[in-house]
Structure 1
Amino acid sequence: MSFPKKGKSFPEGGKSFPKKSGDGSSDFGVDDHAFAMKIASALTSELRDRNSRAKLVAGWTGANERTVKNWILGRYAPCGRHLVVLAQHSDQVLKAILSMADRQDLLLAPKVEDLRRKVFELAAIIGEPSRSSTRSHIL
C-alpha cells in the first residue's frame, strides 16, 4: 500500500521570511561579509604582534584552528557564543561590536574611568597645598 504524495512533504517553492525594516529592524545595515571583515580587522589589529594568532584565539574560544583562520581572513564571522568569548579577551573586538551597534557612548566609559583614576593619582602625588604656599601665590 502506498501513500498519496499529497500532504507528505513540504511544498517545492516556498517563501522566505521578510526582513524587518524601519522601527523594529533586524537588518541592521551590516551585511554578513562586512561583519566578518570588521571582526577580522579587529582580531588582526589586536593580535598584530603574535605569531600564533590562530592557536591563541582557538584556545580562547575552543574553536578549530582552521575556523579561526577563516575568521582572521574575514571569510566567515564567528557565531554568537564565540563572539562573546572574543569580546571578553579582545578590546578591539568589543570596540568593533559596539561600533557596529552604534553604541560609541559605551566606548567612552573606560576612558573616563581611567582619566578619573589618573587625576586621583596625580592629586595624591601633589598632595594638598600648604597654607604658606597658597599665601605666596596670592601675594
Structure 2
Amino acid sequence: MLHKKGNSFHRECDGRVSASEYRQAISAALTQELGGAGRAAKAAMRWTGASERTVKNWISGSYGPTAEHMIELMRHSDTILNVVLGLAGRQEAMTTERIRAARDELAEVLEKLDLLCGSQDDK
C-alpha cells in the first residue's frame, strides 16, 4: 500500500503527446475530413454512436474522443488514422497501407484497360 506522502511515480516521457495537442489534432482532422461543425458532427455521430454534444466538443477541441470512439473514428476516416499514427510517431505504418492501396487501385485500372483493349481488338 502506498502512503499519501512520499515518492511520486510520475515519469517523464520524451516525445509524449499532451492532452491539448491530442484534442487539437483530432479537432483539425475531423474538420478537414468532414467539413463544417454541423455536417462533421452528424457524420461522427453515425460513425461512433456518440451524442451530438460529445462530438461537438471533439470538433471544438474542448475534449478528445475516448479509446472506444477513437477506434470507430479510425475505422471510418483515413485522416483520423493518419493523425493518430503521426501522434504515435508511426507514420511508416500508414506508408505501407498507402502502397498496398495504390497497388490494388493500379491492378484494378490495368484490368479495366485490358478489358477495354480486348474489346477494341475484337473490332
Normalising by the smaller structure, the TM-score range is: 0.7 to 0.9
**Quick check: 1:53 aligned with 2:53?**
no
Cα deviation for residue 117 of structure 1 reads 3.0
- Alignment of 1:111 with 2:98, yes or no, is yes
What TM-score, normalized to structure 1? 0.67
RMSD of Structure 2 on Structure 1 (CA): 2.6
Matches within 5 A, 1:63-102: 63-102=50-89
After the TM superposition, which residues 18-29 of structure 1 pair with which residues of structure 2 at under 5 Å, given as runs?
Answer: 18-21=9-12, 25=13, 28-29=15-16
**TM-score normalized by structure 2?**
0.74
Q: Distance in 2 between matches of 1:114 and 1:41?
A: 24
> What code does the residue aligned with 1:19 have?
H
Share of identical aligned residues, percent? Answer: 33
1:108 maps to amino acid: T
Per-residue Cα deviation, 1:16-56 (whole angstroms, up to 9, x for no partner): 853223xxx5x752111110000111111010268422122
State the shift of 1:123 in Å.
Answer: 5.1
AA aligned to 2:33 is: E
1:52 maps to a residue whose letter is R
With over 3 angstroms needed to count, the CA separation of the structure-2 counterparts of 1:67 and 1:113, relative to structure 1, is same
Contact 2:48 2:72 in 1 (8 A): yes
Q: Which string of whole-angstrom CA distances, capped at 9 and with x for unpartnered residues, describes residues 63-118 of structure 1?
A: 11111101001011111111111111111111010001111111112221233235
* Higher Rg: 1
Aligned pairs, how many?
112
The residue type paired with residue 90 of structure 1 is: S
Corresponding residue SS for 2:89: coil
> Which letter maps to 1:81?
E
Which structure carries more helix by proportion? 2
Other-structure match for 1:131: none
